[in-house]
Amino acid sequence: DTVLTQSPALAVSPGERVTISCRASESVSTGMHWYQQKPGQQPKLLIYGASNLESGVPARFSGSGSGTDFTLTIDPVEADDTATYFCQQSWNDPYTFGAGTKLELK
Amino acid sequence: EVQLVESGGGLVQPGRSLKLSCVASGFTFSNYGMNWIRQAPGKGLEWVAYISSGSSYIYYAETVKGRFTISRDNAKNTLYLQMTSLRSEDTALYYCARHRAGYNYWGQGVMVTVSS
């Protein structure tokens, strides 16, 4: 299975720029997607196809990368962005998720 | 407004069965593939099963293959997950999610607890 590796946690101040990384154990082309999950809520799709902004998601969120290295960027970070962010690949079967990066605001 | 509402969860003993349902509204259910995805308490997300719009293609995670069955009734706008031979490691919040590039709509989830 394709393993997606994410840093476990990050802490940033409001107004800063933050990048959350996801590295795949094998190429997933641009079949990478990003989700935000707040406590007690279901995941919400932010970015699909590595760099496409899902409808209704603020333009502060952006995605980049291809192959094995991907990045979710939030610029600027707002207090409401406190959440866990998951990457997920849909290029290789079975589709897999990263373990998540918990973003905390200072 | 797209809505996915799961039901059917609960506390069940190891080895027993349970059937989850997910009722869809706000979109043409029969046009979309659907998935079940689970999340163990305090853990990450695990894809469980996928069914295509017309039920022609069905896939399972290795961890549930042979024990779980995904199905759908397009006339009732409902997705199902029949779970048998349940194990403690199946304890999780089960979400149904609409399939696209990424899972773009998720239900609120239904909790399944497998314990004696």
Q: How many CB atoms lie within 10 A of CB B16?
A: 12
Section B20-40 average pLDDT: 97
pLDDT band per the 50, 70, 90 thresholds, residue B101:
confident
B27 touches chain A (CB under 8 A): no
- Residue A12 in this model has a pLDDT that exceeds 90: yes
Query: Chain A closest CA to B41's CA: distance in Å?
Result: 11
Residue B58 pairs in a beta bridge with B51
Average pLDDT, chain B: 97
Strand B3-7 and strand B58-60: pairing? unpaired
CA nearest to B48, candidates A85, B58, B56, A42: B58
Residue B100: pLDDT band by 50, 70, 90 thresholds? confident
Tokens of A76: 């600027």
Is the four-CA dihedral A96, B94, B48, B91 of positive or negative sign? positive
In tens, the pLDDT along A64-103 reads 999 999 999 999 999 999 999 999 999 999 999 999 999 9
Name the percent of chain B lying above pLDDT 90. Answer: 96
CB-based contact, B65 to chain A, within 8 Å: no
Q: Do A97 and B100 touch (CB under 8 A)?
A: no
Q: What is the rounded CA–CA span in Å between residue A100 and residue A35?
A: 9
Q: What tokens were used for B9?
A: 């969860």
Residues A42-70 pLDDT 10s: 999 999 999 999 999 999 999 999 999 99
Looking at the complex, report in whole angstroms how far the Cα of residue A14 sits from the nearest Cα belonging to chain B.
Answer: 26
